[in-house]
Amino acid sequence: MKAILALSDGTVFEGQQFGATGETVGEVVFNTSMTGYQEVLTDPSYKGQIVTMTYPLIGNYGCNEADIESIGPQVEGFVVREYSAYHSNWRSKWSLDTYLSENGIIGIQNIDTRALTRRLRVHGVMNGCLATEDADGNIDVASLVAKAQSWHGLVGWDLVQRVTCPNPYAWNQHPSSSTDDFSTDQIPSENGKYRVVAMDFGIKYNILRQLTEHGCEVQVVPAKTTAEEILAAEPDGVFLSNGPGDPEPLDYAIKTVQELLGKKPVFGICLGHQLMGLALGGKTYKLKFGHRGANQPVKHFETDQVEITSQNHGFCVDIDSMPNTVDITHINLNDDTLEGIQHREYPAFSVQYHPEASPGPHDASYLFSRFTQMMEK
- Give the pLDDT confidence score for residue 135 in this predicted structure: 82
Asked if the structure places residue 185 within a domain, the reply is: yes
Residues 127 and 170 reside in one and the same domain: no
Residues 291 and 313 reside in one and the same domain: yes
pLDDT digits (tens, 9 = 90+) for 113-133: 999 999 999 999 999 999 999
CATH of the domain at 251: 3.40.50.880
Residues 132 and 272 reside in one and the same domain: no
Residues 193 and 326 reside in one and the same domain: yes
Q: How many domains does the chain divide into? A: 2
**270 belongs to the catalytic site:** yes
Asked if the structure places residue 12 within a domain, the reply is: yes
Residues 96 and 236 reside in one and the same domain: no
Catalytic residue among 63, 216, 270, 316: 270
Domain that holds residue 357: 160-376
Q: Residue 180: pLDDT above 90?
A: no
pLDDT digits (tens, 9 = 90+) for 201-242: 999 999 999 999 999 999 999 999 999 999 999 999 999 999
Q: Residue 200: pLDDT above 60?
A: yes
Residues 312 and 240 reside in one and the same domain: yes
**307 belongs to the catalytic site:** no
**356 belongs to the catalytic site:** yes
Pick from 114, 130, 150: which residue ends a domain? 150
Asked if the structure places residue 155 within a domain, the reply is: no
pTM: 0.93
Residues 76 and 199 reside in one and the same domain: no
Residues 105 and 171 reside in one and the same domain: no
Pick from 150, 180, 199: which residue ends a domain? 150
Residues 67 and 212 reside in one and the same domain: no
Q: Residue 361: pLDDT above 80?
A: no
Pick from 96, 116, 150: which residue ends a domain? 150
Query: What is the rounded average pLDDT for all residues in the chain?
Result: 93
Residues 257 and 285 reside in one and the same domain: yes
Catalytic residue among 291, 300, 330, 354: 354
For the chain, what is the HEC assignment? CEEEEEECCCCEEEEEEEEECCEEEEEEEEECCCCCHHHHHCCHHHCCEEEEECCCEECCCCECCCCCCCCCCCCCEEECCEECCCCCCCCCCECHHHHHHHCCCEEEECCCHHHHHHHHHHHCCEEEEEEECCCCCCCCHHHHHHHHHHCCCCCCCCCHHHCCCCCCEECCCCHHHCCCCCCHHHCCCCCCCEEEEEEECCCCHHHHHHHHHCCEEEEEEECCCCHHHHHHCCCCEEEECCCCCCCCCCHHHHHHHHHHCCCCCEEEECHHHHHHHHHCCCCEEEEEEEEEEEEEEEEECCCCEEEEEEEEEEEEECHHHCCCCEEEEEEECCCCCEEEEEECCCCEEEECCCHHHCCCCCCCCHHHHHHHHHHHC
